[in-house]
Amino acid sequence: MIAGPKVLGLNGFGLEVPDLAAARTFYETFGLEVAGQPGPDQPSGALRLRSPGRSNDELVLVPGSAKRLHHLSFYFDPLQRDAFADRLGRAGLAVRDQPPPGGGRDGLWFQDPWGTWIHLCPQLPASTRRREGGPGDAGWAARVDVAAWQALEAPRPPRKLGHVLIFTPQLAEAERFLCDVLGLRVADRAVGKVSFLAAGEGVIDHHCFGLVHSTHRGFQHASFQVGGIDDIGLGAWRMREAGYRDSFGPGRHALASNLFQYVRDPWGSWVEYYADMDKISERWVSRDWSVLPYIWGPEWSPEFWGGEMNANLEPR
C-alpha cells in the first residue's frame, strides 16, 4: 500500500458537449437533476447535475465544439490538503487552487502527464441514501400479500455516481501514475484491456475508476448506481421510450460482478445503470484475468471493450 495521502473516492467528472440542451434532456431522462446555478468560474451556460438527494456535482457540462472529457474529480480528506499538494509538487505537477475555464470546483487542480485535468475535492465522501420499498430491501424477497409491481411504478432514479472509465494508450503508465500519486489501488485487470481501480478504506466498491486501453485519451463511460435489476429495467425502458434506443444490456459483468445496462448518449459515448457490485476490503487480492467482460448478457462480437462498441468517439 502507498503511504501518505490518498483519494477516498470519485466525486464527479466534467464533459464538454456541443449542445447543452440535448445533454440536459438526455441526462434528466436518465434520472439526474440539474443543481442550482452555475458557479462563478463556470460559463453562464454550464450545467451541474447530480443524482437526486446528492449534495455534490457529479457531472458538470460545459459548452464545447465537440464532446470530450473536461476533467475528473476525486474526494480527499481536507486535513491532508498540504500533504497532497506537497506530494503532487514532488511528482513535478503544477498544483493550483483556481480551476481551469469551465472547472467550477473548489479544491486542488493539476494536469496529469497526458494533459487531463484532475480535481481534488477537500471533502469526505457522502454516504448513499437508501431508498426503501424495493428490491434489495429487507423482506422484499419474502413478501406476502404485496403486489410488487405496484411498488415499482414510481420513478427510481440513480442513487449515486459509481465509477468512470477513460480511454488511454498508456495503460500501464497511467495505472502506475494513479496508484503512486493519488493512492488508488488495482482491484482487478483484464489483461491488456482494462484496469479497475479502487479508493477508500474499509469495505469499499470494487472500483470507482478504470482505464481502457485504446488509441487515445478520452471519456469511455460513466456509471450510476441503482437499486437492482428492476431499477435497471425501468431506466432502460424510460430511455427507450424517450428515443434513446442504442443500448447494451442487461447483463452481469465478470470482474466486479455488477448488473449492467448501457445507453448511448447523443455523441456516441455510454452511460451505465449498475447494481449489485462486489465490495472489497484490504484483504482483497488483485488478479490479472483473461475472461469475457460479462458472464451473461446480449450477444456481442468480437468482444465487449472493442472499437465496435465504443468507436472511440472523442476528438484526439
**pTM for the complete prediction?**
0.93
Considering only the top CATH level, what class is 7-125+158-310?
Answer: alpha beta
| Residues near 150 by beta carbon (within 8 Å), at least 6 away in sequence | none
Integer Cα distance of 76 and 120 in angstroms: 6
Mean pLDDT of the chain: 90
pLDDT value at residue 152: 77
For 146-172, what is the mean pLDDT? Answer: 88
pLDDT grade, residue 169 (50/70/90)?
very high
- Between CA 112 and CA 73 the distance in angstroms is 12
Q: pLDDT tens, 98-132?
A: 999 999 899 999 999 999 999 999 999 987 655 55
Q: How many CB atoms lie within 10 A of CB 53?
A: 14
pLDDT in tens, 176-206: 999 999 999 999 999 999 999 999 999 999 9
Give the pLDDT confidence of 247-264 residue by residue, as tens digits: 999 999 999 999 999 999
Q: Per-domain residue ranges for the chain?
A: 7-125+158-310
Number of H helices, E strands in the chain: 6, 19
Per-residue pLDDT reduced to its tens digit, 212-249: 999 889 999 999 999 999 999 999 999 999 999 999 99
| Mean pLDDT, range 11-40, rounded to an integer | 89
End-to-end CA separation in angstroms for the chain: 34
Interatomic CA distance for residues 57 and 106, integer angstroms: 11
Residue 49 β-bridge partners: 34, 59
